[in-house]
């Protein structure tokens, strides 16, 4: 084993120059070379208590895979990760590691933590580039399970159920599987070819994929039981956008971030007319919100050539977006109008013309621990050609609307018990549909847990 590298900071990740990347949709971060990965891997001191593992919702054996990178055995490093994580190239890119594995890293007490995410990405990319799939042994059980929603939660549940020997069919409403990984997170943060590669790995386990199928419309849950599925996992996500409910929200040129990003990512509007879905942003774009979705929308609009301003009612420091994302946005030339709240969208001939905003000031901390924005009664007006609203999403209500016996919280989250089962026998649920908008890895962790519970349920049935 090589000597530990006690450098205080992570090996930096090469990135496209901000003034180049804000004009293209290619990936912003470029990935480690083998030398960089090994240099970073030797920063892991292989501590005995391994707190990083408890910080990972899918329990990746982190010190073990890092040790294998140091030894230069990248295939074994990949196999070690893949024992518990079905989508490592995706997680290595989009997981908020600072709150999970890296947030618990022993090196992080005094210095920067080991860059676990970048190392996971490095190993996963190495293996995906080889296009080699290690055969996975699956026990055979003659039982069918339906998974509804092919986002990270449904993919993770499907893969684990297939490995347990179940005949899994994965249904999705869209024409392409992947959920937010395909329709929400932009190409420059998560290339779609890579999502498709990891999706192919899951399908390769024997999972049947049925797209263009809206469960609750095309098929009911009862239809699925009638077709011989003995358990159902609902992972339908949180795709219902919230709006501001202010005058002018129905004008042309106002989008929910959900619609805007779906057009951009899934329908490739940025390649119009090569792809047939256009998107109108105009010269000046207002993005309302301060989370990751707002940053993704703003950075996407910037790449279409617009001058983009993020309007958020609290300060820059209090924005809920990952620090990395808001800093990337700033570097790329996005303007920030903090401590301002839109009160009206003004129009001309049916199209957006301007946004009226009220100045805010910060009061006492609220239940989220952040200082509450307080209206001042002072108003300003800014001209914009389009407005993208990114103030949150809630679970899609369709399953509840079409199934009285599935109970939900008042805000729409599907209620589950300790075994992840909903109030309907044989129907399980997890991911954003249960928790509300959260993260890829938490959705995957929920899918894993549900697969274990479905197995127990069907074994006892
Ligand atoms: C723009 C954006 C950026 C994000 N960035 C990050 C990030 O950087 N890091 C991170 O960790 N998290 C991020 N998130 C959050 C993360 O993507 C979600 O928490 C995660 O995708 C939830 O996974 P899921 O499988 O529960 O749901 P989803 O990914 O939403 O997948 C749900 C799937 O169910 C399908 N569906 C819905 N209803 C039906 C139905 N009735 N019948 C059939 N299919 C149905 C949908 O078409 C969809 O494919 C982001 C979210 C957004 C919107």
Tens of pLDDT along 186-241? 999 999 999 999 999 999 999 999 999 999 999 999 999 999 999 999 999 999 99
Beta strands at 284-288 and 229-234: parallel, antiparallel or unpaired: unpaired
- CA distance linking residue 389 with residue 254, whole number of Å: 8
DSSP class of residue 414?
Answer: B
- Sequence-distant (6+) residues with CB within 8 A of 148 are 154, 171, 215, 232, 233, 234, 235, 236, 399
Residue-level pLDDT at 54: 95
Judge if the upstream peptide bond of residue 273 is cis by omega within 30 degrees of 0.
yes
CA atoms within 13 A on the CB side of 404: 0
pLDDT at 251: 98
Q: Whose CA is nearest to atom 33 of ligand 1?
A: 149
Q: Which atom in ligand 1 lies closest to the alpha carbon of residue 258?
A: 53
Q: What residues form DSSP beta bridges with 389?
A: 256, 288
Distance CA 459, CA 253 (A): 53
Nearest-atom index, ligand 1, CA of 393: 53
- Give the H or E element holding residue 312: strand 307-312
State the distance from the centre of ligand 1 to the C-alpha of 12, rounded, in angstroms: 29
Measured in angstroms, how far is the CA atom of residue 235 from the centroid of ligand 1?
9
CA dist., res. 235 & res. 443, Å (int): 8
Q: Give the residues surrounding ligand 1 with Cβ less than 6 Å away.
A: 94-96, 148-154, 171-174, 179-180, 184-185, 214-216, 235-237, 239, 261, 292-293, 296, 396, 398-399, 431-433, 437-441, 443
Please report the pLDDT score of residue 272 as a whole number.
Answer: 85
* Dist. CA 199–CA 183, nearest whole Å: 14
Tell me the CA–centroid distance for residue 106 and ligand 1, in Å: 31
Beta-carbon contacts of residue 460 (< 8 Å; ≥ 6 apart): none
According to DSSP, the residues that pair with 288 across neighbouring strands are: 311, 389
DSSP string, 426-460: TEEE-THHHHSS--HHHHHHHHHHHHHHHHHHHHH
At residue 141, φ and ψ (nearest 5 deg) are -125, 135
Which of 100, 87, 163, 62 has the alpha carbon at shortest distance from 452?
A: 163
Residue 178: CB atoms within 10 Å:
26
Under 8 Å between Cβ of 168 and 207: yes
CA of 160 to the centre of ligand 1 (A): 19
Q: Which atom of ligand 1 approaches the CA of 296 most closely?
A: 1
How many whole angstroms separate alpha carbon 134 and alpha carbon 266? Answer: 30
Write down the pLDDT at residue 277. 86
Q: How many CA atoms lie within 13 A of 80 on its CB side?
A: 19
**Residue linked to tokens 């989009």:** 94
Residue whose CB lies within 8 A of the most ligand 1 atoms, among 56, 93, 176, 179, for a mutation test: 179
Q: Which residue from 256, 257, 250, 249 is spatially nearest to 343, judged by alpha carbons?
A: 249
What atom of ligand 1 comes closest to residue 189's alpha carbon?
Answer: 8
The pLDDT of residue 368: 78
> Ligand 1, closest atom to CA 433?
26
Low-confidence ranges of the chain (pLDDT < 50): 1-2
CA distance 139 to 46: 34
Radius of gyration of the chain (CA): 23
Q: Which residue has the tokens 């109970």?
A: 407
Residue 182 is predicted with a pLDDT of: 95
Give rounded-to-5 percent helix, strand, coil for the chain.
35, 20, 45
State the distance from the centre of ligand 1 to the C-alpha of 371, rounded, in angstroms.
Answer: 29
* 346 Cα to the center of ligand 1, angstroms: 32
Ligand 1 centroid to Cα of residue 321, in Å, is 17
Which residue CA neighbors atom 30 of ligand 1 most closely? 237
Yes or no: say if 275 and 321 are a contact pair by the CB < 8 Å rule.
no
Compute the distance between CA of residue 27 and CA of residue 454 in angstroms, rounded to an integer: 37
Q: What's the pLDDT at 132? A: 74
Residue 448 dihedral angles phi and psi, to the nearest 5°: -65, -45
Pocket test for ligand 1, best of 96, 150, 151 (most atoms within 8 A of CB): 151
The angle subtended at Cα 204 by Cα 395 and Cα 93, nearest 5°, is 55
The residue contributing the CA closest to ligand 1 atom 49 is 179
In the three-class reduction of DSSP (H, G, I as helix; E, B as strand; rest coil), residue 149 is classed as: coil
Q: Which residue carries 């408890």 as its tokens?
A: 54
Beta-sheet pairing, 229-234 with 144-148: parallel
DSSP 401: H
- Residue with tokens 């003004």, as numbered in its chain: 346
What spacing in Å lies between the alpha carbon of 91 and ligand 1's midpoint?
Answer: 14
pTM for the complete prediction?
A: 0.94
To test the pocket of ligand 1, the residue of 55, 149, 446 to mutate (highest count of ligand atoms within 8 Å of its CB) is 149
């Amino acid at each position: 084993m090589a000597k530990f590298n006690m450098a205080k900071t992570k090996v930096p990740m090469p990135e496209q120059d901000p003034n180049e990347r804000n004009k293209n949709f290619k990936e912003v971060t470029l990935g480690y070379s083998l030398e960089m990965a090994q240099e970073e891997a030797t920063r892991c001191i292989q501590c005995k208590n391994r707190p990083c593992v408890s910080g990972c919702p899918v329990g990746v054996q982190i010190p073990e895979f890092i040790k294998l990178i140091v030894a230069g055995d990248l295939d074994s490093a990949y196999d070690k990760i893949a024992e518990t994580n079905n989508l490592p190239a995706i997680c290595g890119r989009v997981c908020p590691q600072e709150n999970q594995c890296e947030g618990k890293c022993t090196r992080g007490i005094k210095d920067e933590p080991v860059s676990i995410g970048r190392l996971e990405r490095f190993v996963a990319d190495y293996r995906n580039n080889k296009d080699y799939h290690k055969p996975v042994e699956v026990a055979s059980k003659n039982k069918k399970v339906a998974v509804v929603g092919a986002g990270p939660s449904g993919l993770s549940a499907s893969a684990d159920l297939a490995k347990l020997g179940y005949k899994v069919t994965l249904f999705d409403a869209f024409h392409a599987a992947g959920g937010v990984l395909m329709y929400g997170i932009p190409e420059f943060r998560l290339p779609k070819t890579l999502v498709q590669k990891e999706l192919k790995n899951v399908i390769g386990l024997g999972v049947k994929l049925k797209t263009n199928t809206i469960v609750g419309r095309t098929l009911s849950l009862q239809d699925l039981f009638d077709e011989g599925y003995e358990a159902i996992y609902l992972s339908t996500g949180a795709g219902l956008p919230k709006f501001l409910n202010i005058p002018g929200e129905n004008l042309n040129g106002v989008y929910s971030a959900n619609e805007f990003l779906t057009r951009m990512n899934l329908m490739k509007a940025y390649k119009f007319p090569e792809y047939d879905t256009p998107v109108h942003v105009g010269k000046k774009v207002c993005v309302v919100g301060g989370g990751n979705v707002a940053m993704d929308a703003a950075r996407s609009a910037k790449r279409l050539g617009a001058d983009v301003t993020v309007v958020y009612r609290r300060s820059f420091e209090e924005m809920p977006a990952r620090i990395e994302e808001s800093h990337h946005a700033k570097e790329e030339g996005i303007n920030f109008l903090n401590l301002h709240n839109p009160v009206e969208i003004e129009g001309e001939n049916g199209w957006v013309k301007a946004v009226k905003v009220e100045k805010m000031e910060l009061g006492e901390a609220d239940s989220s621990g952040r200082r509450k924005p307080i209206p001042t009664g002072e108003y300003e007006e800014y001209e914009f050609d389009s407005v993208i609203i990114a103030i949150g999403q809630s679970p899609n209500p369709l399953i509840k609307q079409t199934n009285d016996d599935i109970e939900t919280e008042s805000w729409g989250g599907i209620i589950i018990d300790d075994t992840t089962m909903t109030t309907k026998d044989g129907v399980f649920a997890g991911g954003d549909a249960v928790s509300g908008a959260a993260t890829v890895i938490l959705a995957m962790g929920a899918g894993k847990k549900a697969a274990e519970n479905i197995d127990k349920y069907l074994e006892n049935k």
